[in-house]
Amino acid sequence: MTDVIVVGAGHAGMEAAAACARMGLATKIVTLRKEEIGQMSCNPAIGGLAKGQLAREVDALGGLMGRITDEAGIQFRMLNTRKGPAVHSPRAQADRKLYKAVARRILESTPNLEIVEDEAVEILIEHPASSIRHRTSSIHLTGLRCKRAGDMPARAVILTTGTFLQGLMHFGLETKVGGRMGSPAAYPLSDNLRKLGVDLGRLKTGTPPRLDGRTVDFSAFEVQQGDEPPPRFSFWAGIEPKNRAVCHLGYTNEKTHEIIRASLDRSPLYTGRIKSRGPRYCPSIEDKVVKFSHHPRHYVFLEPEGLDTAELYVNGIATSLPADCQTAFVRTIRGLEKSEITKFGYSVEYDYVPPHEIRSTLECRKIPGLYVAGQINGTSGYEEAAALGLAAGINAAAKILGLPPFVLSRDQAYIGVLIDDLATKSTDEPYRMFTSRAEYRLLLRQDNAHLRLRKIAETYGLLPAEILDRFKEEEEKRDEILNSLRRTRLPVTEEMKRVCEFRNTAPPAGSPTAEELLRRPFVRYEDLLAINAPLARLPSSVMAQVEIEVKYEGYIRRQREAVDRAVRQEAHLIPETLDYAAVPSLTLEAREKLKKHLPRTLGQAARLSGVSPADIQNLLIYLTAGFPLSRE
pLDDT at 137: 54
Q: Pick left, alpha or beta for residue 166 (phi over 0 → left; psi -120 to 50 → alpha; otherwise beta).
A: left
Same domain? For 475 and 584 the reply is no
Using the 3D structure, point to which of 510, 537, 560 is the last residue of a domain. 560
Tens digit of pLDDT for each residue in 590-615? Answer: 998 898 888 888 888 888 888 888 88
Return the CATH number at 593: 1.10.150.570
Pair (341, 238) in one structural domain? yes
Residues 497 and 516 in one domain: yes
For the cut 70, the answer to whether the pLDDT of residue 131 exceeds it is: no
Q: 327, 219 in Cβ contact below 8 A?
A: no
Looking at residue 551, which CATH number applies to its domain?
1.10.10.1800
pLDDT number for residue 55: 98
Same-domain status, 471 and 589: no
Among 332, 347, 362, the domain-final residue is 347
Question: Does residue 533 share a domain with residue 511?
Answer: yes
Query: Are both 226 and 272 inside the same structural domain?
Result: yes
The yes-or-no verdict on residue 74 having pLDDT over 60 is yes
Residue 337, domain member (yes or no): yes
What's the pLDDT score for residue 16? 98
Tell whether the model's pLDDT for residue 478 goes beyond 90. Answer: yes
pLDDT at 332: 98
Residues in the chain, how many? 632
Beta bridge partners of 124: 143
Question: For residue 396, what pLDDT is reported?
Answer: 98
128 versus 280: which is more confidently predicted?
A: 280
Please report the DSSP string for 505-564 in residue order: -PPPSS--BHHHHHTSTT--HHHHHHTT-S-----HHHHHHHHHHHHTHHHHHHHHHHHH
Q: 37-51, 99-113, 264-278, 438-452: which has the minimum mean pLDDT?
A: 264-278
Residues 509-564 pLDDT 10s: 889 999 999 999 999 999 999 998 999 998 888 999 999 999 999 999 999 998 98
What is the sign, positive or negative, of the torsion defined by CA atoms of 432, 377, 411, 479?
negative
Tens-place pLDDT, residues 195-229: 999 999 999 999 999 999 999 999 999 999 999 99
Strand (E) positions, 80-200? 89-94, 113-117, 120-126, 140-146, 150-159, 168-171, 174-177
The answer to whether residue 541 sits within a structural domain is yes
pLDDT band for 486, please (50, 70, 90 cuts): very high
Range of the domain at 586: 571-625
Dihedral pair phi/psi, residue 475, rounded to 5°: -65, -45
Who's near 53: CB < 8 A, 6+ residues apart?
89, 414, 433, 435, 444, 445, 446, 449
Contact status, residue 499 vs residue 523, Cβ threshold 8 Å: yes
Quickly state the pLDDT bin for 368 (edges 50, 70, 90): very high
pTM of the model: 0.92
Please give the full DSSP string across 141-155, using - where no structure is assigned: EEEEEETTTEEEEEE
Which pLDDT value is given to residue 134?
A: 41
Domain count, the chain: 3
Task: Let me know whether 551 and 619 are in one domain.
Answer: no
Q: Which of 321, 347, 373 is the last residue of a domain?
A: 347
Q: What is the mean pLDDT of residues 228-240?
A: 93
If we measure between CA atoms, which residue out of 204, 210, 164 comes closest to residue 43? 210
Residue 315 sits in the same domain as residue 249: yes
In a domain, 112, yes or no: no
* Rounded average pLDDT over 473-489: 95
Residue 298 falls inside a structural domain: yes
CA gap 522, 530 in Å, rounded: 14
CA distances from 345 to 43, 282, 314 (A): 12, 14, 10
426 band by pLDDT with thresholds 50, 70 and 90: low
Residue 483 shares a structural domain with residue 542: yes
Q: Do residues 612 and 526 share a domain? A: no
Angle of CA points 127, 130, 133, to nearest 5°? 95
Residue 628: the pLDDT is 54
**pLDDT recorded at residue 370:** 98
In what helix (H) or strand (E) does residue 489 lie, and over which residues does it extend?
A: none
pLDDT score at 287: 93
Helix (H, G, I), strand (E, B) or coil at 439: coil
Cα 257 off chain centre by? 32
Residue 421: inside a domain: no
Residue 422 lies in a domain: no
Query: Of the segments 266-275, 495-504, 572-581, which one has the largest average pLDDT value?
Result: 495-504
- In terms of domains, do 223 and 261 share one? yes
pLDDT at 132: 38
Q: Are residues 214 and 342 in the same domain?
A: yes
388 contact partners, CB below 8 Å, separation of at least 6 = 12, 362, 373, 374, 377, 379, 418, 419
pLDDT in tens, 275-315: 887 777 778 999 999 999 999 999 999 999 999 999 999 99
What CATH number corresponds to the domain at position 251?
Answer: 2.40.30.260
For 442, phi and psi rounded to 5 degrees?
-70, -25
Q: What is the pLDDT of residue 128?
A: 60
Q: Is the pLDDT of residue 399 over 90?
A: yes
Residue 578, in any domain of the structure: yes
Whether the predicted pLDDT of 629 surpasses 80: no
Within a 10 A sphere around the Cβ of 561, how many other Cβ atoms?
10
Q: Is residue 525 part of a domain?
A: yes
